[in-house]
């Protein structure tokens, strides 16, 4: 497993849990160290226990040395980051590096008994990456005698915060390859993972570019749903309508056959996937002189959702703010492209006084790379972070409720400030009794 972030650590632990022997490889010792000690390198419900079980059983190990991992290995899964470049395209530097690491390690290790090794991209990459980028690197460092490589794209569909549950019950398992041996290797790899699923999860073998494009289609659609729901919220707010209620009923229309996920008016989408993948699709469109007004609009609406919250704060009285929730959604410590971070930074920039409470994001609870992220990239927010919601609310004129927990909700109901702007829908019916309450779908 190359890359032990949110996707790699979940995948590694789940595969070890299914009985496979897994070596995780990461260039970052903040990821390798915890796994070696039997802990998860990221905050993900249930993952710590699964990593501990895998490490104790001796089936899950981690290293910074690709050669250790590749010794007799049959499959490499690449789960490294594919961030946006400043222009919005997908940065494939880490993909190239990981493929090269595998190819170079193959020169010196004992091959698997079959002599065949599958290199599988699990990261989200644009169509053509396996055929062009991966193939190019492998042509530069061809396998030695006794080693044959096959390649594939096998996109990952887990969501942070419910990573384990999503891994065990994916919407589909799709392998894009033109090499039947890789298809068989992955079908065998996943068989023990999904053996108890009902209905059984089938592995669909498709063209490699279909598998690459599929993940972008999924994320572009999720993002569009969020923006659609938020636009409903924005317009109907002016008519005193609770759009959450509208959308609750809307999704019952069986002719739409649409899941209620991503369709709750509330706040902007964020995190390390939807914004960057949408930007990537829009960049591919620009490069091919193709206009995508719907998807451009989904991104613009998202940015508008962040500005809306800031505008709503500014429009009313109060300078002391309690922001309840900082990560981009519940049950994760991931701060990448969090719209809550954006709101915090803009309000601080406008001279508001903030106290921030997040159930996970506080220096006492953060681990590894995310602690480093806060201390190095967000020191201005670290200074106003507290691990006590009551402290965040003490003296606040306005509470902004976002990705938060029951402790914060209880503290808010006990000592409500003059205004509460609810972006989460976590407050329940009691919220209506709060003074100056602005409901989530309004």
Give catalytic residues, as residue numbers.
273
State which residue, 97 or 319, has the beta carbon closest to ligand NAD.
97
Per CB under 6 A, the segment of 92-100, 187-195, 232-240, 301-309 that binds ligand NAD is 92-100
- Cβ atoms of 167 and 11 closer than 8 Å: yes
> Which one among 159, 209, 248, 373 touches ligand NAD, defined by CB under 6 A?
159
Nearest to 13 by CA among 43, 75, 55, 66: 55
Write down the least CB distance from residue 132 to ligand NAD, Å. 17
Residue 78: CB minimum distance to ligand NAD, A? 8
Give me the least distance between CB of 86 and ligand NAD, in Å please: 17
CB-nearer residue toward ligand NAD: 118 or 123: 123
Instruction: State the Cα–Cα distance between residues 157 and 171, nearest whole angstrom.
Output: 7
**Encoded tokens for 319:** 């300078």
| 159 in Cβ contact with 334 (< 8 Å) | no
Helices (H), 238-292: 243-250, 274-287
Region of 395 (left: φ > 0; alpha: ψ -120 to 50; beta: rest) is: left
Q: Which of 40, 76, 118, 272 binds ligand NAD (CB under 6 A)?
A: 272
| DSSP-derived pairing of the beta strands 116-121 and 75-78 | parallel
Binding track over 112-141 against ligand NAD, x by CB under 6 A: -----------xx-----------------
Instruction: Identify which of residues 3 and 439 has a Cβ nearer to ligand NAD in the complex.
Output: 3
Binding window for ligand NAD (CB under 6 A); candidates: 157-165, 191-199, 233-241, 355-363: 157-165
Give the orientation angle of helix 208-237 with respect to helix 243-250, to 10 degrees: 140
Taking the complex as a whole, how short is the minimal distance between the CB of residue 156 and ligand NAD, in angstroms? 4
Which region, judged by CB under 6 A, interacts with ligand NAD, from 80-88, 106-114, 199-207, 418-426? 80-88
- Cα–Cα separations (whole angstroms), residue 330 to 25, 235, 326: 28, 26, 9
User: Do 67 and 109 touch, CB atoms closer than 8 A?
Assistant: yes
Bridge partners of 203, per DSSP, are 173
230: left (phi over 0), alpha (psi -120 to 50) or beta: alpha
Per-residue interface string for the shown chain with ligand NAD, residues 22-61, x marking contact by CB under 6 A: ---xxxx--x------------------------------
Residues that bind ligand NAD (CB under 6 A): 2-8, 25-28, 31, 79-82, 94, 97-98, 101, 123-124, 156, 158-160, 272-273
């Amino acid at each position: 497993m190359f890359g032990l972030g949110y996707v790699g650590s979940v995948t590694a632990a789940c595969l070890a849990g299914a009985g496979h022997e897994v070596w995780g490889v990461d260039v970052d010792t903040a990821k390798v160290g915890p796994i070696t000690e039997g802990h998860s390198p990221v905050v993900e419900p249930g993952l710590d226990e699964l990593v501990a079980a895998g490490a104790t059983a001796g089936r899950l190990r981690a290293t910074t040395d690709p050669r250790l991992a590749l010794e007799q290995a049959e499959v490499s899964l690449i789960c490294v980051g594919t961030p946006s470049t400043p222009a919005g395209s997908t940065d494939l530097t880490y993909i190239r590096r990981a493929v090269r690491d595998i190819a170079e390690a193959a020169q010196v290790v004992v091959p698997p008994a079959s002599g065949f090794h599958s290199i599988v991209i699990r990261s989200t990459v644009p169509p053509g990456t396996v055929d062009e980028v991966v193939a190019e690197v492998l042509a530069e460092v061809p396998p030695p005698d006794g080693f044959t490589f096959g390649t594939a794209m096998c996109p990952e569909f887990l969501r942070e915060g419910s990573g384990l549950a999503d891994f065990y019950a994916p919407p589909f398992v799709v392998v894009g390859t033109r090499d039947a041996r890789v298809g068989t290797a992955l079908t065998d790899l996943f068989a023990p993972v999904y053996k108890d699923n009902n209905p059984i999860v089938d592995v669909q073998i498709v063209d490699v570019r279909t598998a690459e494009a599929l993940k972008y289609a999924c994320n572009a659609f999720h993002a569009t749903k969020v923006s659609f729901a938020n636009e409903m919220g924005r317009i109907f707010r002016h008519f005193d309508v609770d759009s959450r209620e509208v959308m609750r009923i809307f999704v019952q229309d069986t002719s739409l056959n649409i899941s209620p996920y991503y369709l709750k008016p509330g706040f902007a989408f964020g995190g390390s996937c939807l914004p960057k993948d949408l930007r990537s699709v829009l960049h591919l469109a620009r490069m091919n002189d193709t206009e995508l007004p719907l998807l451009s609009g989904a991104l613009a609406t998202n940015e508008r959702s962040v500005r809306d919250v800031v505008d709503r704060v500014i429009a009313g009285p109060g300078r002391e703010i309690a922001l309840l929730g900082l990560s981009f959604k519940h049950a994760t410590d991931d701060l990448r492209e969090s719209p809550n971070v954006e709101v915090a930074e803009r309000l601080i920039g406008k001279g508001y006084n903030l106290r921030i409470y997040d159930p996970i994001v506080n220096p006492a609870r953060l681990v590894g790379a995310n602690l480093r992220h806060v201390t190095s990239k967000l020191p201005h927010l670290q200074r106003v972070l507290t691990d006590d919601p009551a402290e965040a609310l003490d003296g606040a004129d306005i509470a902004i409720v976002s990705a938060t927990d029951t402790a914060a909700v209880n503290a808010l109901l006990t000592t409500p400030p003059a205004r509460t702007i609810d972006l989460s829908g976590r407050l329940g019916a009691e919220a209506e009794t709060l003074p100056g309450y602005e409901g989530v779908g309004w």
